[in-house]
Amino acid sequence: MSFLTVLFAYLFYAATAILVGGLFFKIRTYARTPAPLKIPTTPAPITKTGVVLRMTREVTLFESLFKSNKWIWLFGYLFHVSLLLVTLRHLRYFTEPVWFPVEMIQPFGMYAGFAMVAGLGGLWARRFLVDRVRYISTPSDHLILALLVAIGLSGLGMSFVAHTDIVAVKAFILGLMVFDLHPLPADPVLLVHLSLVALLMFIFPISKLLHAPGIFFSPTRNQVDDPRDRRHIAPWAAKLEAGAQGKSE
């Protein structure tokens, strides 16, 4: 087996371990940290079903962002929906036979690559053109955009300009999943694409990409507005009541 194949195999094992382990650690931290007070941004749903609907609207429609700024919403939504399609399309490299829904979206997924890069371009342009957004942008904000754009362009490059041997790529990936290494084509565009994806997986749990799991734990969005009808108390706050059964001092 070539050095290159082994290198990329280990790269992806490491990236997957970091991504899964890092997200697990972060999500566990969020889940274990109590929310001692009721702080939903009101008006808020007064039932759990209502909260599920609010959260669903938030993650599928970006409801709050839509209220806030139509340009950011447009570019952000375009990017995220395209990314979703592109990712689903890539499932064909991980499944044999390819799942039917994944088969169905292939044509859309192909062009979603352009929409994704366009969305990223819009978001990036704001970092230069809007003085307020320019002020708050850090080098890492630009680098993450650059990374995503480079992933998108290298992928599009393989679809539309310099095709790679996708049959071999698929054999490599399917093999990777069962620890049975198959040769990876030594195609420069492919290697760039894969390296950048691995980098994205590495930085996911240590960067602002944590907004993805974070939103589900955001107390202003996931709490039910029922504080008068239900007593909500965190374990550390309940301890303050020990020995304070009657009047306070």
Partner 1 sequence: MAAPKFEVPSLTGFIEVPKIKENASAHVKSFPASAEIQERIGFPGPLVEDWHDKAIAKMGDLLGKYRSLQVFMDACVHCGACTDKCHYFLGTADPKNMPVARQELMRSVYRRHFTFAGKYFPSLVGAKDLTEDILQEWYSYYYQCSECRRCSVYCPYGIDTAEVTMAGREILDTVGIGQKYTNEIMGKLHRIGNNLGLPGPALEDTLQGLEEDIFDATGVPVKMPLDAEGADILLITPSADFFSEPHVESLIGYAKVFHAAGVKWTLSTTASEAGNFGLFIGSYDNIRKAAMRIRDAALELGVKRVVVGECGHAWRVAYSFWNTLTGVGHGGNDPFARQLQQQLDPNYPAPQHICEFTYALIQEGKLKFDKSLNDHRVVTFHDSCNVARGSRMGDMPGGQFIIPREVIKAVVNNFQDMAEETIGEATFCCGGGGGILTDDLMEIRVKGALPRMEAFNNVVKENKVNFLALICAICKAQFTKVVPYYGFDMSMVGGVHQLVSTAILLDVPEGSEQETETEESEA
Query: At its nearest, how many Å lie between partner 1 and the CB of residue 34?
Result: 6
Query: At its nearest, how many Å lie between partner 1 and the CB of residue 37?
Result: 6
- How far is C-alpha 136 from the chain's CA centre? 21
104 secondary structure, DSSP code = H
Query: At its nearest, how many Å lie between partner 1 and the CB of residue 23?
Result: 12
Query: At its nearest, how many Å lie between partner 1 and the CB of residue 53?
Result: 12
Query: At its nearest, how many Å lie between partner 1 and the CB of residue 82?
Result: 17
Taking the least distance from each CB to partner 1, the nearer of 177 and 233 is: 233
Sign of CA dihedral 36, 40, 42, 43: negative
Taking the least distance from each CB to partner 1, the nearer of 100 and 236 is: 236
Taking the least distance from each CB to partner 1, the nearer of 43 and 97 is: 43
- What's at 199, amino acid-wise? L
Own/partner contacts of 215-221, CB < 8 Å, gap of 24 or more, are: 215/55, 215/58, 215/59, 216/55, 216/59, 217/27, 217/30, 217/31, 219/35, 219/39, 219/40, 220/39, 220/40, 220/41, 221/40, 221/41, 221/54, 221/55, 221/58
Taking the least distance from each CB to partner 1, the nearer of 156 and 198 is: 198
Whole-angstrom distance, CA of residue 235 vs CA of residue 230: 16
The number of CA neighbours under 13 Å toward the Cβ of 140 is 7
Taking the least distance from each CB to partner 1, the nearer of 143 and 177 is: 143
